[in-house]
């Protein structure tokens, strides 16, 4: 098995720019490192302290750690490492201004970004991407590198939703897009044709737990998740994986519907196996 510290160098890799990875939580940063190793592409990973998880970064050779507010340090590392292309990936819990402890460059960014810095996730992440591009980096989406992560259309599990359920899901999809247009969240939970709960800044896991506590009959619960209208798809695409499926199953959900082609499905095989074991459907809509 190939070590994370032993990249294969192919002739085509010499034509690729060095990839910078700004890493939040989850397994996606590691998936990108594997991609770089398999293609022979040079990389540099900056893990955000308090968000990135050490367990997923074991064996990563070109690794730096930084607090989220140290914008100057992050940019200096990227320039010193001669990074050209940049990916921001993995969930990051938004800190308070005090907790972020922005450095001088971070404070200048906040002043330039103005209200966008305190808006929804898409607003602030787009502002950050613009700031990084102003420094000479090219911000790209993870789906441009790992196309296999995009959720495929159709039923992905043994359990299938009925026609009536699929009609109810369309109600949830419209509500999820309405929520996204306000840059608040990307997901809702439906119970029958009723919207039971909406995603807030607490995220999808919090939504699943809240909806379970509100439900009259848990096996009627369905999580519906979609890309925000007008969202910059380079950053913060809707994501689901094994943890989402396990939590939905534990809380008695009957299914998950997520927008196909505009969302990331991480650890797909294990997530589908877990859904099948729980008789829970997964639908790419």
pLDDT digits (tens, 9 = 90+) for 71-96: 899 999 999 999 999 999 988 876 65
First to last CA, the chain: 36
With a pLDDT cut of 90, the percent of the chain lying above it is 68
Q: At what angle do helices 242-250 and 204-214 cross, to 10 degrees?
A: 10
**Which overall architecture, per CATH, does domain 150-284 show?**
3-Layer(aba) Sandwich (3.40)
Output 260 or 16, whichever has higher pLDDT.
Answer: 260
Region 8-12: mean pLDDT is: 48
Instruction: Please say whether the beta carbons of 187 and 225 come within 8 A.
Output: yes
Say what the pLDDT of residue 93 is.
73
Measured distance CA(64)–CA(138) in Å, rounded:
20
Measured distance CA(272)–CA(280) in Å, rounded:
9
**Which distant-in-sequence residues (6+ apart) come within 8 Å of 228 by Cβ?**
122, 177, 180, 181, 183, 186
**Which distant-in-sequence residues (6+ apart) come within 8 Å of 147 by Cβ?**
none
Measured distance CA(256)–CA(270) in Å, rounded:
15
Q: Where are the domains of the chain?
A: 11-144, 150-284
Nearest to 28 by CA among 185, 150, 156: 150
pLDDT digits (tens, 9 = 90+) for 183-218: 889 999 999 999 999 999 888 999 999 999 999 877
Q: Calculate the average pLDDT of the chain.
A: 88
Asked if residue 114 has pLDDT above 70, the reply is no
Region 136-154: mean pLDDT is: 95
Asked if residue 142 has pLDDT above 70, the reply is yes
Say what the pLDDT of residue 91 is.
83
Q: How far is CA 193 from CA 115, 170, 253, 256, in A?
A: 36, 9, 15, 15
Say what the pLDDT of residue 184 is.
87
Asked if residue 2 has pLDDT above 50, the reply is no
pLDDT digits (tens, 9 = 90+) for 248-275: 999 999 999 999 999 999 999 999 999 9
In the structure, what pLDDT confidence band is assigned to residue 101 with cuts at 50, 70 and 90? low
**Which overall architecture, per CATH, does domain 11-144 show?**
3-Layer(aba) Sandwich (3.40)
Asked if residue 8 has pLDDT above 50, the reply is no
Q: How many Å separate Cα 3 from the centre of its chain?
A: 25
Say what the pLDDT of residue 1 is.
41
* CB neighbours of residue 51 within 10 Å: 17
């Amino acid at each position: 098995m190939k070590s994370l510290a032993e990249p294969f160098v192919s002739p085509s890799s010499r034509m690729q720019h060095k990839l910078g990875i700004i890493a939040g939580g989850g397994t996606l940063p590691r998936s990108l490192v594997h991609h770089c190793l398999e293609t022979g592409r040079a990389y540099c990973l900056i893990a955000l302290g308090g968000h990135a998880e050490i367990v997923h970064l074991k064996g990563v050779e070109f690794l730096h750690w930084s607090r989220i507010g140290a914008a100057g340090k992050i940019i200096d590392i990227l320039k010193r490492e001669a990074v050209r292309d940049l990916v921001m990936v993995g969930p990051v819990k938004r800190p308070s201004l005090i907790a972020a402890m922005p450095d001088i460059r971070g404070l200048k960014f906040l002043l330039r970004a103005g209200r966008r810095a305190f808006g929804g996730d898409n607003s602030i992440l787009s502002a950050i991407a613009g700031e990084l591009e102003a420094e000479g980096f090219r911000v790209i989406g993870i789906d441009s590198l790992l196309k296999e992560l995009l959720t495929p259309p159709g039923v992905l599990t043994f359990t299938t939703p009925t026609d009536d359920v699929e009609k109810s899901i369309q109600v949830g999809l419209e509500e999820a897009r309405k929520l996204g247009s306000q840059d608040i969240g990307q997901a809702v939970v439906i119970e029958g044709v009723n919207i039971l709960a909406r995603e807030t800044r607490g995220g999808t896991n919090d939504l699943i737990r809240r909806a379970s506590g509100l439900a009259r009959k848990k096996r009627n619960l369905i999580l519906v998740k979609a890309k925000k209208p007008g969202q910059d798809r380079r950053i913060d695409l809707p994501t689901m994986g094994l943890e989402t499926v396990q939590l939905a199953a534990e809380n008695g959900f009957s299914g998950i519907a997520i927008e196909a082609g505009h969302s990331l499905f991480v650890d797909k095989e294990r997530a589908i196996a877990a859904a099948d074991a729980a008789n829970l459907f997964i639908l790419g809509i």
